[in-house]
Amino acid sequence: MATVSVPAGTTALLLDIEGTTTPITFVKEILFPYVREHLEDYLSSHWEEDECKQDVHLLKKQIEEDMKQNRACPVHAVDQTVHTDEEKAIREVVDNVMWQMAADRKSTALKQLQGHMWRSAYASGRIKGEIYQDVVPSIKRWREQGLKVYIYSSGSVEAQKLLFGYSVEGDVLELFDGHFDTTIGAKVDAKSYERIAERIGCQPEGITFLTDVTREAKAAEEAGVNVVVVVRPGNMELTDEERAHYNLITSFSQLEPTGRA
């Protein structure tokens, strides 16, 4: 695949994680199974702690929202105040989290709890964040050219910082100027990218977004953001129309600041 120039006027690069900086298999085969396997034990150990109570409260609010929107979900509500049987209450949280994960939900409530669980796994060395080999040297090169680099992922900001703070390349957090997650909006909503531009302090046209998901690419384009689609092993296949429409790269090393391609 040929070298692609960063669109003229770009001052900031916005990077997705899963399928872009990091193999999809890391998320699907390492991070998610860790949560499924350790969720009940984690809740039992931390149930009385404020952080865990806040996580459960957010899940409860999500369930209420889902019921209002008539989305299918486990019928029982999560409420720590009315259950005398702690095990039953924990079981209900587990059921809801498993249901959300099976549906590949991107809810802030789910992502926050997952991030808190991963924190202990990273800190203990049981998990190291995987990143493609071309990522770190390319970001260093882009930064040397004066570009700012941000992350935008469905995973919580805390989970993002854990992945890059405890990565196979060591702590590489200094490579990023900021992090965004679904608290700023869904990645398939154009308004999210407008808010990010406002937060960064530039026009949407000054941002180039790297993602493997064309629904996200479409939303970013609607906001006026430039898009480069990343094609990595295991990513969703693109249609011929999508391949014709988007600038494509298979490695960050192919993306060059304007005038240097």
Which residue numbers belong to the known binding site for Mg(2+)? Answer: 16, 18, 212
Q: What is the DSSP string of 1-28?
A: ---EEPPTT--EEEE--BTTTB-HHHII
Q: Please report which helix (H) or strand (E) contains residue 62, including its range.
A: helix 50-68
Binding residues for substrate: 153-154, 187
Binding residues are 16, 18, 153-154, 187, 212
E-strand stretches of the chain: 4-5, 12-15, 148-152, 178-180, 207-211, 226-230, 247-249, 255-256
DSSP state of 170: B
Calpha distance 115→110 (Å, rounded): 9
Pull the structure tokens for residue 121.
């796994």
Please name the residue that has the structure tokens 């990645």.
187
Alpha carbons 17 and 153: distance in angstroms, whole number: 6
- Partners of 15 in the β-ladder: 151, 210
